[in-house]
C-alpha cells in the first residue's frame, strides 16, 4: 500500500460544470502525477508536480489545471467539463529516487453527460 | 521523447498454456522499462522492471521479461498461466537519466484473457 488516496472515486457530472479531483499521499514524496486512462490509449500524462507550487504540463493537459499547495495533496481541476473528459483518472507518486517507478492510486471514474 | 507499442490489444489463452505479451519501445536515450498489471476496477501494480544488468528480469506471480536492446523490445512471458492472470498489462518506459520529470510513458495495453 503506497498510501495514496483519491477522491471522489466515482463522479457523474454535466457538461460545463467544474470538477476537482483530489489526490492525497501519506508518503511525503516530492513527485506526483495525474494520468487519464482511456481504452486503446493506455495511460496518458496530464500534469505532474515536482514540489509544492511546482507543476508542469504533460501530453494531454488542455482543459485541465492542477494545484499543489501542500506536499501531500495534488488537485486536478476541470474548469468546464466536456464529454471528452469522461475517463478514469489515476494519481501516482514517484517511488524510487532515479528508477522512474510509480505507485498508483485506485483511480477516479468521471462521467461527463 | 519516448514511445511504447503494444501490438496485441487482446491475447486469449487457455489455462496452463504459455503466453508472451509483446512490447516495443522507441527512445533516443537510454531507458528503464516496466510492466504493470491492472486487475478489474483497480489501480496499476508493478509486475517487474528493468533498470540495468541482466537482461532477463523476473517479477511477481511467475512473470518474466527480457530486454533486447538491438530489437528495442521488452516482451513479457509466463510459462503457464492461471485464470487469476486475467487482467490488462501495460508496458512503460522512462528515461534512465534524471530529466526532472521522471514520468512514465505507457503503451496502449494488452488484455490477457485466460480461458479454462
Where is A109: in which H helix or E strand? strand A108-112
Task: Give CA angle at B88 (A106, A27), nearest 5°.
Answer: 30
* Strand extents, DSSP E, chain B: 3-5, 10-14, 19-21, 24-26, 31-38, 44-50, 56-58, 64-68, 73-78, 87-95, 105-106, 110-115
Look up cell 468546464; give the residue. Answer: A80
**pLDDT tens, position by position, A11-47:** 999 999 999 999 999 988 889 999 999 998 999 999 9
**pLDDT tens, position by position, B36-46:** 999 988 899 99
Cα–Cα dist A81/B44, whole Å? 25
pLDDT confidence of A96, banded at 50, 70, 90? low
Q: What is the DSSP string of A32-95?
A: EEEEEEETTTEEEEEEEEEETTEEEE-TT-TT-EEEEEETTEEEEEESS--GGG-EEEEEEEE-
For residue A91, the model assigns a pLDDT of 96
Cα–Cα dist A23/B85, whole Å? 29
Contact call for residues A53 and A44 (beta carbons, < 8 A): no
Report chain B's mean pLDDT, rounded to a whole number.
Answer: 93
For residue B102, the model assigns a pLDDT of 74
Cα–Cα dist B64/B57, whole Å? 6
Stretch among A20-34, A98-112, B15-29, B59-73 having the lowest mean pLDDT: A98-112
For residue A67, the model assigns a pLDDT of 97
pLDDT confidence of A100, banded at 50, 70, 90? confident
**pLDDT tens, position by position, B53-96:** 899 999 999 999 999 999 999 999 999 999 999 999 999 998 88
pLDDT confidence of B52, banded at 50, 70, 90? confident
**pLDDT tens, position by position, A42-80:** 999 999 998 899 999 999 999 999 999 999 999 999 999
- Tell how far CA B48 is from the center of its chain: 8
For residue A73, the model assigns a pLDDT of 97
Chain B residue with minimum CA distance to A39: B108
Count of residues for chain A? Answer: 113
Cα–Cα dist B88/B53, whole Å? 27
Site from A42, A54, A104 to mutate, B interface, most B CB atoms within 10 angstroms: A42
pLDDT confidence of A89, banded at 50, 70, 90? very high
Contact call for residues A63 and A85 (beta carbons, < 8 A): yes
For residue B1, the model assigns a pLDDT of 81
For residue B100, the model assigns a pLDDT of 64
Give me the residue from A58, A101, A105 closest to B46, CB to CB.
A101
Greater pLDDT, B101 or A103: A103
For residue A2, the model assigns a pLDDT of 64
- Tell how far CA B67 is from the center of its chain: 10
Give me the residue from A41, A99, A106 closest to B43, CB to CB.
A106
Q: Does B59 touch chain A (CB under 8 A)?
A: no
Give me the residue from B32, B51, B106 closest to A42, CB to CB.
B106
Residues of chain A found within 8 Å of residue B42, distances taken between Cβ atoms: 106-107
Contact call for residues B103 and B2 (beta carbons, < 8 A): no
pLDDT confidence of B99, banded at 50, 70, 90? low
Q: State the nearest Cα–Cα gap between A66 and chain B, in angstroms.
A: 16
* A102/B104 touch (CB, cutoff 8 Å), yes or no: yes
Contact call for residues A47 and A61 (beta carbons, < 8 A): yes
Amino acid at each position: 500500500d503506497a498510501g495514496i488516496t483519491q477522491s471522489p472515486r466515482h463522479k457523474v457530472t454535466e457538461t460545463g460544470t467544474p470538477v476537482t479531483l483530489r489526490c492525497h499521499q501519506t508518503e511525503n514524496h516530492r513527485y506526483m502525477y495525474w494520468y487519464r486512462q482511456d481504452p486503446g490509449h493506455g495511460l496518458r500524462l496530464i500534469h505532474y508536480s515536482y514540489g509544492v507550487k511546482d507543476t508542469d504540463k504533460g501530453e494531454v493537459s488542455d482543459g485541465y489545471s492542477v494545484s499543489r499547495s501542500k506536499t501531500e495533496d495534488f488537485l486536478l481541476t476541470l474548469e468546464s467539463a466536456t464529454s471528452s473528459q469522461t475517463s478514469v483518472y489515476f494519481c501516482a507518486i514517484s517511488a524510487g529516487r532515479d528508477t522512474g517507478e510509480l505507485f498508483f492510486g485506485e483511480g477516479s471514474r468521471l462521467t461527463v453527460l | 521523447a519516448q514511445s511504447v507499442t503494444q501490438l496485441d490489444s487482446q491475447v486469449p489463452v487457455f489455462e496452463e498454456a504459455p503466453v508472451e505479451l509483446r512490447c516495443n519501445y522507441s527512445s533516443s536515450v537510454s531507458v528503464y522499462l516496466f510492466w504493470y498489471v491492472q486487475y478489474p476496477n483497480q489501480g496499476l501494480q508493478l509486475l517487474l522492471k528493468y533498470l540495468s544488468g541482466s537482461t532477463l528480469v523476473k517479477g511477481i506471480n511467475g512473470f518474466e521479461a527480457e530486454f533486447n536492446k538491438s530489437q528495442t523490445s521488452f516482451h513479457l512471458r509466463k510459462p503457464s498461466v492461471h485464470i487469476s492472470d486475467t487482467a490488462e498489462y501495460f508496458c512503460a518506459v522512462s528515461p534512465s537519466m534524471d530529466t526532472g520529470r521522471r514520468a512514465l510513458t505507457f503503451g496502449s495495453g494488452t488484455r490477457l484473457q485466460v480461458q479454462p
